[in-house]
Amino acid sequence: MLKNRKNDLLYLLNIIEYIEKINLYSNSFENPEILYETNDQMNYNAILSLLTQIGENSTKLSDDTKNEYSYPWKEVVGLRNRIAHDYTGINIFVVFQTIKYSLPSLKAKAYQIILEGITENIFDKLELFSAKESNYYSHLEFSKFEFL
């Protein structure tokens, strides 16, 4: 399927949802070792899966969006590839740093792209409204889109 900028809304919504779930699974931990060991690594493994999905959705974003909105997209995809192809070699400290320092800026960038995409009629408001009504996107802050 060819990458179409109008389809980027779904991928951006997914990225934000996955980031919010990662925050939910990791917020109570101030130490990467404790995060890694908690619940027999269930939280950590879920986070790795979600990071992989963030990278996967980033690969699906159109070149127009990636070119217009500067972000280290290659690093996001690179982490996805590292997790997907070298699962046992993932450094828990790198994952923890990514959660604490990289994901907040990616989330902010995704919200910015959506807001500007809706304002510029690149994305469909009805599609965003439909996402708001969906249980799937229960962790998004739709209040950031005052027109909904």
Looking at residue 71, its pLDDT comes to: 96
130 backbone dihedrals φ, ψ, rounded to 5°: -60, -40
Q: What token pair was written down for 144?
A: 């950031």
Q: What is the pLDDT of residue 65?
A: 97
What is residue 148's predicted lDDT score, i.e. its pLDDT?
A: 54
pLDDT at 87: 66
CA 34, CA 147: separation in Å to the nearest integer? 41
pLDDT of residue 145: 85
Burial of 42 (0-12, 13-18, 19+ CB in 10 A): exposed
pLDDT of residue 86: 82
| Distances, alpha carbon 143 to alpha carbons 101, 128, 129, 132, in Å | 24, 12, 11, 10
Per-residue pLDDT of the chain (148 residues; tens, 9 = 90+): 568 899 999 999 999 999 999 999 999 999 999 999 999 999 999 999 999 999 999 999 999 999 999 999 999 999 999 999 986 789 999 999 999 999 999 999 999 999 999 999 999 999 999 999 999 999 999 999 877 5
Residue with tokens 């997907």: 84
**What is the pTM assigned to this prediction?**
0.94
Give the Cα separation of 53 and 1 in Å (integer). Answer: 18
Please give the structure tokens belonging to residue 94: 């790198």
